[in-house]
Amino acid sequence: MHLYLETVSTHDSTIGLLSSLTFRCFTLELPDINNAENISCIPAGHYAFRKHYSPSLGWVIHIRDVPKRTWIYIHAGNFTSEIRGCILVGSGMKDLNNDGIPDVTGSTKTFKKLFASLPDKGTITIRR
């Protein structure tokens, strides 16, 4: 299974569209800050992923072999304040907390659908 993520970065966030042949959703990441750990989006590239159980987040999708980064996940969440270099997924985009930064909506339900649609391992291409 291969995933594609097309994104656009602004000064306060990176929003995108994640898709496969059978699934599509919105994404939210931190802004592009030169791949700085915990405060930047993931650089463009081609990566492997696998399903993984995180003690703090539960089941996640682990994006592997990101240069100079570790433990990059796709997981549920709504706000950039919940991100430490990972990718949040959702069914829509809206400023839920009125801070002027887009948030993802329907994240838990969207993540469950995404997770169920994926095999245990695959690849993802990220384009900025």
| Per-residue pLDDT tens digits for 92-118 | 999 999 999 999 999 999 999 999 999
Summarize the confidence of residues 78-82 as an average pLDDT: 96
CB 33 within 8 Å of CB 47: no
| Per-residue pLDDT tens digits for 6-37 | 999 999 999 999 999 999 999 999 999 999 99
As a three-state string, the secondary structure of 103-124 is: EEECHHHHHHHHHHHCCCEEEE
Q: Which residues pair with 53 in a beta bridge?
A: 59
Structure tokens at 59: 């089941």
Domains, in order of start, for the chain: 2-127 (2.40.440)
Q: What pLDDT score does 1 carry?
A: 85
As a whole number of angstroms, the distance between CA 63 and CA 100 comes to 28
pTM of the model: 0.96
Confidence of residue 120 (pLDDT cuts 50, 70, 90): very high
The alpha-carbon radius of gyration of the chain (Å, integer) is 13
